[in-house]
Structure 1
Amino acid sequence: MQGPASRRAMLAGAATAAALAAGPAAAEEAAVWGAQYWAGKGPVRLCLYRKRLGVPRPGEAPRPVLFLVHGSSNSAQPSFDLTVPGKGEYSLMNVFARLGYDVWTMDHENYGRSSRTGSNSDIASGAEDLAAAAPVVARETGAARFHYCGESSGALRAAVFAAREPARVDRLVLSAFTYTGKGSPTLAERAKRLPEYRASNRRLRDRAMIRSIFTRDLPGTSDMAVAEALADAELAFGDQIPTGTYLDMTANLPVVQPEAVKAPVLIIRGEHDGIASLADLQDFFGRLPNGDRQFVTLSHAAHALGFGLNRQQFWHAMHAFLAMPPPVAA
């Protein structure tokens, strides 16, 4: 069986412009297969989703596994497998499946199709969800280590998990990440509602709130038709979501120390993302112990990189990091 480094090397030249564009023609040529699975965290049932090129076959060569971790306000499929009619490709799962990855994601507790409980589904709970999902992914793919990509509070979940279970994590992408929250206009505004987050395990997440994700930093970095498609997909699960990640991000940061994250790390952010200041992220980046690390800022982009007009730059930077050839030791 090939190791993660060998698989990355094999994929290093795969990111062609046509594959990254992933338009309708590419969709017809490459049949993306998908399936749904379940993991258990005690009595909590967690819904997992998988996409890759072709149905899995016994004895086939292993593929690198990419696990996507959603944020505070939207569940897994609307976040990473969204269809926006007439607007091109917005499914991160489809894009990376076509690039040769075995792509997974999951609804965290109290999101999407996963169990509804009394928990507020904070960052620590999300890291426990990832730990519960890992054996299912390993069983189905034969892989022991996976790449992880988390966005916003999903990046915090992924970083906490990477610190807790380094043996499970190959390479780690932190998109729209925040560290201490210092200098963040988004978190300063959110903190005004801190008493509400402490008083209730649920908050309202309606269409207006989903639209605000696309407008709060710099309107015009995304097509608002995407916001409407996202709201249509997400509101099927109701207009109430957990407060735990908001509470953590306004009252309990930092939830992870960079020295505890041993994996290679890509920190990627939009130039106009208000969730974290550049200085705060640079502080985290400078303290990471692994020399295999990258910091990327994308211009003309804000918080939701995967939904932006320049999302192809996000795909490119992410794939280039994941498919990095292994270093030769000095």
Structure 2
Amino acid sequence: MPHPNDLLIDGPIGRLSVRTKGLEPRPRQVVVLVQGSNLTGQSMFDFSFPGGEDYSVMDALVAEGFGAIAFAIRGYGRSDPPEDGFSVTTETAMEDLDAVIAWTTAQGWPKPHVLAFSWGGRIAGRWAETHGGRIGRLVLYDPARGGGNVILPAPTEPWWTNTREHYAEKLEPEFTSAELRNALGDHVVGYESRSPNGIRLENATPVTPINPAKITNPTLLIYGVEAAKATYMKGGLERAEFFEQLASDDKAFVILPGGGDFIHFQQGRHRFFKAVAEFLRAG
């Protein structure tokens, strides 16, 4: 497996925790990966365990000739926390993404690609509305696009507690090995038991959605089949309408069997890796 390089970079309010893989050979293209609401990019995109070495999205990208960069939004993992977990919102996360893109550019990759998952899809999509010229291709993976129904009740505590039970429920057992569910549960409890709750407070109010008409980057919209069936996270537009309104002729809408919200942790992960790599390689 590629060797991880963990470091801290300057962010808008403190240090941001960053992990890179595959940068040493100076690949032509790199991919910045944007986390969802609960786990850092490092855990979401570079998770593996004994006997489960083929789950890392970062490793899969490196195997396809890309460099990979994951990071933790403020308050997650080793990134410096704000005083108030409620202050971590889509807007502040966009600032953190901006800092990571600027750092990546300074390392010699002026137009990195971006792959963004769930809440990360809203972060990256809204950021790309005004900063798309700074990146190459964009992958929106089961994005929480905003603009749909509010999600109640609003949280009262500024920090969310991650539990193994939450992921045992989210990771459909018909698509996910027991070994993966157990290993991820152990990891969450041991290393990422707390995360900011700003996104849940935000979701309990009308949320500014991604405007697809402002995204001019080549864009892949990709889902596991069970996530594509779900009514939540659809946003104010149906998924097909959102896709049609993307302001690029270079776009693809892919639904894959063998998984749901977390298909990269599920049976369909290798097809997911392949679809993402093929789309990014076209740039």
> Could you tell me the TM-score, scaled by structure 2's length?
0.90
Cα shift at 1:86: 1.4
2:233 aligned with 1:267, yes or no? no
Cα shift at 1:135: 2.3
Residue of structure 2 aligned with 1:192, choices 116, 130, 152: 152
* 2:104 alignment partner in structure 1: 137
Cα shift at 1:238: 4.6
Residue of structure 1 aligned with 2:247, choices 275, 286, 289: 289
Q: Which runs of 5+ in 2 are unaligned?
A: none
2:189 aligned with 1:232, yes or no? no
d(CA) in 2 for partners of 1:238, 1:104? 19
Residue of structure 1 aligned with 2:158, choices 181, 185, 201: 201
| Residues 85 and 197, structure 2, Cα contact 8 Å, conserved in 1 | no
Q: Which runs of 5+ in 1 are unaligned?
A: 1-26, 326-330
Residue of structure 2 aligned with 1:307, choices 254, 265, 269: 265
* 1:128 alignment partner in structure 2: 95
CA gap of 1:66–1:299, structure 2 versus 1, over 3 A, is same
> Could you tell me the TM-score, scaled by structure 1's length?
0.78
d(CA) in 2 for partners of 1:290, 1:127? 22
Equivalent residues in 2 for 1:251-266, closer than 5 Å: 251-266=205-220
Question: What amino acid does structure 2 have at the position aligned with 1:214?
Answer: L
Cα shift at 1:119: 4.1
| Residues 181 and 249, structure 1, Cα contact 8 Å, conserved in 2 | no
d(CA) in 2 for partners of 1:283, 1:248? 24
* 1:8 alignment partner in structure 2: none
* 2:130 alignment partner in structure 1: 164
Deviations 1:277-317 (A, max 9, x none): 49721121111111111100112321002101110010111
2:13 aligned with 1:47, yes or no? no
Cα shift at 1:96: 0.7
Residue of structure 2 aligned with 1:176, choices 142, 162, 171: 142
* 2:64 alignment partner in structure 1: 99
Deviations 1:114-166 (A, max 9, x none): 012124311111111011112221222x1111100011111111112212311
| Residues 52 and 101, structure 1, Cα contact 8 Å, conserved in 2 | yes
Report % sequence identity: 24
d(CA) in 2 for partners of 1:93, 1:225? 20
Cα shift at 1:222: 1.3
d(CA) in 1 for partners of 2:128, 2:251? 15
* 2:170 alignment partner in structure 1: 213
Question: What amino acid does structure 2 have at the position aligned with 1:93?
Answer: M
| Residues 39 and 46, structure 1, Cα contact 8 Å, conserved in 2 | yes
* 2:33 alignment partner in structure 1: 68
Q: Larger radius of gyration, structure 1 or 2? A: 1
* 2:8 alignment partner in structure 1: 38
2:283 aligned with 1:322, yes or no? no
d(CA) in 1 for partners of 2:124, 2:265? 20
Question: What amino acid does structure 2 have at the position aligned with 1:265?
Answer: T
Cα shift at 1:87: 3.1
Question: What amino acid does structure 1 have at the position aligned with 2:75?
Answer: N
Residue of structure 1 aligned with 2:177, choices 223, 228, 236: 223
Deviations 1:28-53 (A, max 9, x none): xxxx2331232222332101110007
Q: Which has the higher helix share?
A: 1
CA gap of 1:37–1:168, structure 2 versus 1, over 3 A, is farther
| Residues 146 and 210, structure 2, Cα contact 8 Å, conserved in 1 | no
| Residues 180 and 280, structure 1, Cα contact 8 Å, conserved in 2 | no
RMSD after superposition: 2.1
CA gap of 1:277–1:138, structure 2 versus 1, over 3 A, is closer
| Residues 181 and 250, structure 1, Cα contact 8 Å, conserved in 2 | no
